[in-house]
Structure 1
Amino acid sequence: MITADFAILPVGNDTTECKDFVAAAVQAIKDSGLSYQLTGMGTQIEAETLEELYSAIAKAQEAVFKAGIGRVYTVIKVDDRRDLDDRGLDVKIETVENMLD
């Protein structure tokens, strides 16, 4: 399982509001069929292959362009772990939460 955290930042917007661009990007991820979690600072997704992952992010980035922005800055963090099976986002969170008092 490959997990990633990414944020697509519109550059050159006339206002500080980004919600329309965020919604466009998240809709593209939702349409990809990949499991995802929207957070207050980005979006986390799970994929079986790097091709799936990068394709979904590319479609999200393209959706932001189609929403009317002329430039985007995308930050991607990828965890491609192959030594254990089924290490999705929920399992990673549960592992740490189980360690807390």
Structure 2
Amino acid sequence: MSVLLQMAMFPTDHGESKSEYVAEVIKVIRESGFPYQLTPMATIIETEKLSDALNIIQKCYDTLDRLDCNRVYAPITFDIRKGHKNRLKGKVKSIENKIGKVSK
């Protein structure tokens, strides 16, 4: 199974710039060992089980909680597909096979 998790998570109660907090969230994602892709608006992570994706979300929230964030915004989207793997790269490759290299 492939679970694609697209998420962004940051506090809304700590000023205008969020990079300091987003960096801490990305450290958690990086340390999870699962493949991920950081984009300007969200991060996409691929796990094999939904429970792993949910665990990453919890750890990210716990990190912000330890940083005294009282209000956290987190849009979260899942794409869960049985019988598939490596969709983080495979979905992009499928489009490139049709139209050529896409900007990255």
The question of a shared fold, defined as TM-score above 0.5 by the shorter chain, is answered with yes
TM-score (normalizing by structure 1): 0.89
Alignment of 1:16-95 (within 5 A): 16-82=16-82, 84-95=83-94
SS of structure 2 residue aligned to 1:34: coil
Gaps of 5+ in 2: none
Equivalent residue number for residue 12 of structure 1: 13
Identity among equivalent pairs (%): 29
TM-score (normalizing by structure 2): 0.87
Instruction: Provide the rounded CA distance (Å) in 1 between the counterparts of 2:58 and 2:87.
Output: 21
Q: CA deviation at 1:66?
A: 1.8
Which one has the bigger strand percentage?
1
Instruction: Provide the rounded CA distance (Å) in 2 between the counterparts of 1:63 and 1:36.
Output: 18
Large movers: runs of 4+ above 3 Å: none
Gaps of 5+ in 1: none
Instruction: Provide the rounded CA distance (Å) in 2 between the counterparts of 1:87 and 1:76.
Output: 20
State the Cα deviation string for residues 44-101 of structure 1 (Å, max 9, x = none). 100010100000111012112222321102111100011x422421000110122115
Q: CA RMSD in A?
A: 1.3
Equivalent residue number for residue 4 of structure 2: 3
Equivalent residue number for residue 97 of structure 2: 98
Count, aligned residues: 99
State the Cα deviation string for residues 12-61 of structure 1 (Å, max 9, x = none). 11x21101110110111111111111110011100010100000111012
Is the 8 Å Cα contact of residues 36 and 43 (structure 1) preserved in structure 2? yes
Is the 8 Å Cα contact of residues 24 and 67 (structure 1) preserved in structure 2? no
